[in-house]
Chains A and B, each alone.
Chain A
Amino acid sequence: MIVDQLRELCARLLSEGTAQVVIGYGQAAPGKPAYPVFIRRAEDADQLVWNDQCMTNLAATLKRREVKALGKPAVIVKGCDERALIMLAKESQIVRANIYVIGVECNGAGRPAMAKCASCDVHVPRWTDTVIRETESQAAAVRTTPSSARYADLEAFMRKTPEARLAFWRAEFGRCVKCYACRQVCPLCYCERCIADKNRPCVIDTSATPKGNFAWHITRAFHLAARCAGCDECARACPAHIDLRLLNLALAAAAEDHFGWRAGMDPEAEPPAGAYSLKDKEDFIG
């Protein structure tokens, strides 16, 4: 069982001093969504759980000041979470050597499985210190899914007319209460002061009105352009069930289309955000 291996590893890491805190999943009751737990003593290792409720992207916890204060972390990641971890390293937010990464094979989280799982192609994390797999003889760590599968929902959405799309978003954003849960759970929203909280000038209207909500969601999505690692935590966290995944997909598709880039897939690749190429497309520029 994976959970036994996890607990054993957790206890060992803490007792050997490899890590000062193990960030993993805990659960109040079977079937309830798992939440992050921060285990600092080997004897607490049995608080860890591993099941299909472990949806949270724990990479997002690393940005928090209070977590940083706990000392060197060991963090449990799924394939999708690992992509965020790689992006954090690319953006100088973490130093890979200072984190112990426990990869766990995942073949779908959530019940029913989250939308992202259908086209998942990193079932076994690769950028890890240890990997725990279901069985040894599983299929390859990376299964390539055609990009059409990844963006199928987007493509279907884009078949609507622009007017219908705008109407859709007006309805979606109309529900937004500006709780910023999307920002809070995003592993890559690590700014010390979010632009949404900036005044003088006030770039984004802070009120939860269409004006402020459009400005916020445009900004959130675009700040993650070619960076979003596709964990979909924003969409899951949204109390208003705004389809934020669709916006993330749009920019992911653009990044893959233009630069052949998928955020967090290759720790060696140079990110296209903040860079340029002389060959960039400019058919839209007159």
Chain B
Amino acid sequence: MNETNRFEPRIIAYVCNWCTYLGADLAGTNRLEYPANVRIIRFPCTGRIDFNLIVKAFEAGADAVLVSGCHPGDCHYTAGNYHARRRWMLFRQLLDTLGIDLNRIHFTWISAAEGRKWAQVVTGITEQTRQMGPYTAYREIARASA
């Protein structure tokens, strides 16, 4: 955390290996600076990313979660991202009903060529989350386990 005592959100990003991970690599190659708040976990495909992982991320104290993969039609495995899309479409509805803040969960398609988009998305989410403050609501739920 930096010395100004500013709240630094913790963001977990679940990304696919073939598009978004490479997009983030490209952001690096192009030296596009963005906030250091994001932690990437690499999956072969967005189709592999289960909804339990989003819950787990919040349990682990994440203030925001990003799920990102290949654009429709670009999936390395043909259709994994379509499965993911349908999953998130329904899952958001459930979370909304539960009153979980949907502004804490972000979904994007970022291709291997979209290094700039990756930097922008991460910057945007970090700033937005900074403004919203820590996700105390879920942290309380997770902490009360003790």
Contacts and interface: CB of A to CB of B under 8 A. Distances in A.
Whether chain B is bound by chain A comes out as yes
A165 B90 contact: no
B97 A154 contact: yes
Contacts of A214: 55, 98, 141
A215 B108 contact: no
Contacts of B91: 222, 225
B144 interface: yes
A221 B121 CA distance: 30
Interface string B111-146: 000000000010000000000000001001111111
Contact of A162 (B82, B90, B92, B99): B99
A267 interface: no
A253 B93 contact: yes
Contacts of A167: 99
A211 B98 contact: no
A166 interface: yes
Taking chain B's interface residues, is the majority helix, strand, or loop, or is none over half, making it mixed? Answer: helix
A251 B99 contact: no
Given A250-B93, A251-B93, A222 B144 contact: no
A286 B106 contact: yes
B85 interface: yes
Contact of A276 (B55, B83, B121, B146): B83
Nearest to A257: B93
Contacts, number: 123
B90 A225 contact: yes
A275 B92 CA distance: 18
A250 B97 CA distance: 7
A248 to B, nearest CB: 10
A211 B86 CA distance: 26
Contact of B137 (A166, A281, A282): A166
Contact of A164 (B86, B97, B99): B99
A268 interface: no
Interface string A200-241: 000111010111101100110110011000000000000000
B141 A211 contact: yes
A230 B81 CA distance: 29
A258 interface: yes
A255 to B, nearest CB: 7
Taking chain A's interface residues, is the majority helix, strand, or loop, or is none over half, making it mixed? Answer: helix
B94 interface: yes
B59 A215 contact: yes
A168 B106 CA distance: 24
Contact of B98 (A218, A258, A282): A218
Given A211-B141, A211-B142, A284-B89, A218 B94 contact: yes
B33 interface: no
Contacts of A282: 72, 85, 89
A280 B101 contact: no
Nearest to A282: B85
B14 interface: no
Contacts of A226: 90
Given A211-B143, A225-B90, A280-B85, 16 more contacts: A158-B97, A163-B99, A166-B137, A204-B52, A210-B142, A210-B144, A211-B145, A215-B55, A218-B51, A222-B51, A226-B90, A247-B94, A258-B90, A276-B83, A276-B86, A284-B107
Interface of A: 154, 157-158, 160-170, 195, 203-205, 207, 209-212, 214-215, 218-219, 221-222, 225-226, 246-247, 250-251, 253-255, 258, 272, 274-278, 280-282, 284-286
